[in-house]
Amino acid sequence: MSTIPHIIPTTLSDAARADVLELQEKISGFKSGRIPEERFKAYRLTRGVYGQRQLGVQMFRIKIPYGKLTARQLVRIADIAEEFTNGNLHTTTRQNIQLHHVHLEDTPAMWARLEEVGITTREACGNTVRNITASPTAGIDPDEPFDVAPYAEALFQYFLRNPICQDMGRKIKIAFSSSQKDSAYTYFHDFGFIPRLQVVDGVEKRGFKVVVGGGLGAQPYIAETAFEFLEEEKIIPFTNAALRIFDRFGEREKRMKARLKFLLDEKRGLSLAQYKQLIEQEYPALPHKEYTVDRSLVEQPVIPEARTWPEIAILDQQKFEQWKKINLFEQKQEGFYTVQIKLQLGNLSSETAKELASLLQEGLAADDIRVTINQGLLLKFVRPEALPYLFYRLNHLGLAEPGFGTIADITACPGTDTCNLGVTNSTGVALELERLLKEEYPELIGDSRIAIKISGCMNSCGQHMAANIGLHGSSIKHGALVVPALQVVLGGGVDPSGKGYIAEKVVKLPTKKITQALRLLLDDYDDGALEGEYFNDYFTRRGKPYFYSLLKPLADLSKLEQSDYIDWGHTDAFIPEIGTGECAGVSYDVVGTIITDAEERLHYAHKAVAVQKWADAIYHAYSAFVIGAKALLLSKDLHCNTHQGIIQDFQQHFYATGEFALDLPYDELVLQINKQEPTEAFAGHYLQQADDFLQKVLAKRQQQLEQSKVEKVVVDTYYKA
C-alpha cells in the first residue's frame, strides 16, 4: 500500500491535476480528523471511491463514457489493478469498470495514472450525472440512423465538473440508444435519447426522441416521452435546463423519493407538462441556447489492414461455428464483423485484459473496445479472414464462449461479495444457473428471447426489473432461522420492436429452489408458447396468477432441507447483514459547518470568474445563496428538503418577518439566476450580492451563538438539501 502524498504526473491537464491534488488533500484532512467521516464520504463518492462490504478497503469506479476504451487504456487499467488491487477488472451494466479491495490512500495515484491515458473517475458515484451509457454498437449498427457516440461524448464532456451536477439530491442516469430497438434501455433512465431523422423545412435533420423520468429500483417507472423529435443542437441545452429544475425542485430529505422519477409524479410533484414549462423558463440562464455537437468528437478507429494470418487448426469446429453464429454480427460497414465477448459475471483478470489488448495492437480488430451493457466486451472491424485466428486466440484466453446476449449470458451484480446493500449472493446463483443451462438446456444457448438478470438486493444494479426472468436478493423468516431468498420477477426488458417493459413481482423463493424454478419456467414456456412467441407475450397471455401457481409449491417452508438455510457460494447458515448504502446522506452536522459549505461555493464562484466562466460562477453563487439560507433555517429546526422549499421558507421566516434585511425580497434575489443572461456583468453583480448575503448570514449566526452559547446540532436528515 502506498502512502500519501503521491507524486502527481506533470502531464495531466490542469483540471485533472487539480482534481487529484484535491482528493489527496481531502484524504489527508480525513485521516487527520479535520474532515468528519460523513462529510468525507459525500466528497469521495463523487470521485469514484465507494465503500465496500469489507472494512478498510474501497471499490474504485472508473467512468468510461458509453464504454469506449482503447487497448492502451485497457492495459493501464490492468496495470493499476495488478499494482493496487486483487487484479480483477469488473465490468458493470453501466459500461464502467470497477476495481475492488482498494486502499483509500492509493486512490489519488490510481486516478492520476488513469488521467494520463484520458480516463477519469470524477462523478462516477454520488449525487452527480453518472456515466453516460450508449448502445455498444453505436457507429456500426446496421439499424442506426447515425452514430450517437459523438452526442454521448459531448454530453459527458459538457457536464463533467459542471457546478449544476456536483451536489444534486440524487444521481442522474442518461442513455443513448443507437436505434428504435432501444438496445441501451433508455426507457428506464432519467434521460434517454433515441436517434431520428426528420425533414424540417425541406432539409433532413438529425434529432432525438427524448424520454425522461424512468428508473428501476424498488419502485420502477417507465420514462415518459418528452419529445418525439428534438433537434440535435437542442439536446444539451434541454438537458442543462432540465438538470437545473431537478436540482431546484428535487427531493433531498427523503432519500428514497429523491430521483427524477418521483419529481415527475403528477400527484406528488410535477406533471411532465409542468416540468417542461419550468425548463423553458430556465433558458435565459443557459450559456448555450443551442449547442452544435462536433461529429468528429469521437475519433474513428483505424480500420485494420488486410493481411494474412497464421493458419491454425480449429480443434472444436462445432464451438467455432456456434461462436460465429451467436457472438458475431455483420456491421453496417460492408465486409466487417463485430465480435462480442461473453464475460462470466463481468470479471476479467488483469493478465487476460493485457493479452486481449495485444490482439487489437496486432491488428485483429480496431483499437476501439466497448464495454457492453450486459457486462461483456465488443470488438469492431474484424475482417472475415481474421476470424479463425481471432477465435483461436480468444479461446486460448477463455473469451470465446458462445452465448453472448442470450439466456446463457446471465447479468449479475456483485451482491454480497463486496456490496454493503447485498442481501444474498447473486454471483453464486448466477454461476449455478449458467451451469444448469449449459448441462440441461444446451439448445437454448443461442436463444436471445429470454434474458436472466440478478441483483443482490431490490436496488436493481443487476437490472433484474428489466429482465424476462429477474431475481433479486431477499430473505424469509422461518421460526428462529432466516432463509436466503430471491424474489422472482417476470416480463421485463425490451421486446423486438423496442418497447420497454418493467417486470412484475411473482413470488419469493428460497435461493436453493431457484434452479428448479428455472426448470419449471423453461419447460412450461417450451410446452405452452405459440410458435415464435416472445417470452413476455407468453407471460402476458398466461397472466401473473398462472406463474404464481406454477412456482408457489417451491415456496413451501415445511419442506426445507438443511442446505436451504445456506446461501449459494457459502458453507455457513445464512445471516442477513445489510449495511448502509454509500449514497446515503450525512446523519448529522452543525450549522456553522453548513455555512462553511456556502463559503466554499463562493470560493468556486470566484475561481470561475477568474477564468471567465460566467455561467459556472453564477451557479456557484446561487448554491451559496441557498446553502447559506439553509443554515439559518436549520438553526430554527425548519426542514430543508428542496432548494425551492428553502427559497420559499427563508422568504417567509426571515425576510418577510423583517428579521433579515435585504435590498430585494430573498426569493427575487436568488431567482435572478433564471431571468438573466449569464453575462460577465450579471456574474459580477450576482456574485457580489451572494458575498454580501453570506456576510449577513455569518453576522446573524454570530448573534445566535452569543444568545445560545452553543453550536446548533442538526439532527437526522435535515442537512441533505
pTM: 0.95
| Cα of 158 vs its chain's centroid, Å | 17
- CA 230, 163, 678, 593 dihedral sign is positive
Q: State pLDDT tens for residues 633-656.
A: 999 989 889 999 999 999 999 999
The arrangement of secondary structure in 588-720, i.e. its CATH architecture, is Up-down Bundle (1.20)
**Best CATH choice for the domain 14-115 from the list 3.10.105.10, 3.40.640.10, 3.90.480.20, 3.90.930.12:** 3.90.480.20
Q: State pLDDT tens for residues 680-701.
A: 999 999 999 999 999 999 999 9
The arrangement of secondary structure in 133-285, i.e. its CATH architecture, is 2-Layer Sandwich (3.30)
Residue 1, pLDDT score: 46
In which band, very low, low, confident or very high, does the pLDDT at 468 lie, cut at 50, 70 and 90?
Answer: very high
Whether the predicted pLDDT of 579 surpasses 80: no
Question: Kindly report the CA angle at 43 between 721 and 28, in degrees rounded to 5?
Answer: 140
Whether the predicted pLDDT of 79 surpasses 80: yes
Per DSSP bridges, beta strands 337-341 and 452-455 are unpaired
The arrangement of secondary structure in 317-396, i.e. its CATH architecture, is 2-Layer Sandwich (3.30)
In which band, very low, low, confident or very high, does the pLDDT at 290 lie, cut at 50, 70 and 90?
Answer: very high
Q: Can you tell me whether residue 561 is helix, strand or coil?
A: coil
Residue 177, pLDDT score: 98
Separation between Cα atoms, residue 81 and residue 97, nearest integer Å: 11
Separation between Cα atoms, residue 491 and residue 546, nearest integer Å: 13
E strand map for 63-108: 68-69, 88-91, 97-102
Give the type of residue at 648. Answer: Q
- Do domains 133-285 and 411-565 share one topology? The answer is yes
In which band, very low, low, confident or very high, does the pLDDT at 418 lie, cut at 50, 70 and 90?
Answer: confident
Q: In percent, how much of the chain has pLDDT > 70?
A: 95
Burial class (CB within 10 angstroms; exposed 0-12, middle 13-18, buried 19+) of 548: middle
- Range 522-542 burial, b when 16+ CB lie within 10 A, else e: bebbeeebeeeebbbebbeeb
Q: State pLDDT tens for residues 134-166.
A: 999 999 999 999 999 999 999 999 999 999 998
Q: Are 20 and 111 in contact (CB under 8 A)?
A: yes
Residue 711, pLDDT score: 66
Residue 400, pLDDT score: 98
- Residue owning grid cell 440562464: 285
Average pLDDT over residues 104-118: 97
Q: What is the DSSP string of 378-402?
A: EEEEE-GGGHHHHHHHHHHTT---S
Q: State pLDDT tens for residues 187-233.
A: 999 999 999 999 988 999 999 999 999 999 889 999 999 999 999 99
Q: In percent, how much of the chain has pLDDT > 90?
A: 84
Q: Which long-range contacts (CB under 8 A, 24 or more apart) does 163-167 make?
A: 163/604, 163/608, 163/616, 163/619, 163/620, 163/623, 164/240, 164/243, 164/244, 164/247, 164/619, 165/123, 165/128, 165/129, 165/243, 165/247, 166/46, 166/123, 166/128, 167/127, 167/623
Whether the predicted pLDDT of 496 surpasses 70: yes
Question: What is the signed CA dihedral for 569, 572, 576, 577, rounded to 10 degrees?
Answer: -80
Q: Can you tell me whether residue 50 is helix, strand or coil?
A: strand
> Can you identify the CATH homologous superfamily of domain 411-565?
Sulfite Reductase Hemoprotein, domain 1 (3.30.413.10)
Give the type of residue at 534. Answer: Y
Give the type of residue at 662. Answer: L
Residue 717, pLDDT score: 44
Average pLDDT over residues 14-25: 95
Whether the predicted pLDDT of 721 surpasses 50: no
Separation between Cα atoms, residue 526 and residue 515, nearest integer Å: 17
| CA distance to 161, 173, 261, 301, 494, per residue, from 266 (Å) | 32, 21, 10, 46, 26
C-alpha cell at 180: 428504435
Q: State pLDDT tens for residues 304-331.
A: 999 999 999 999 999 999 999 999 999 9
Residue 580, pLDDT score: 55
Average pLDDT over residues 120-143: 97
Separation between Cα atoms, residue 90 and residue 372, nearest integer Å: 12
**Ranges of each domain in the chain:** 14-115, 133-285, 317-396, 411-565, 588-720
Residue 527, pLDDT score: 96
Residue 639, pLDDT score: 84
Question: What is the signed CA dihedral for 364, 365, 371, 372, rounded to 10 degrees?
Answer: -100
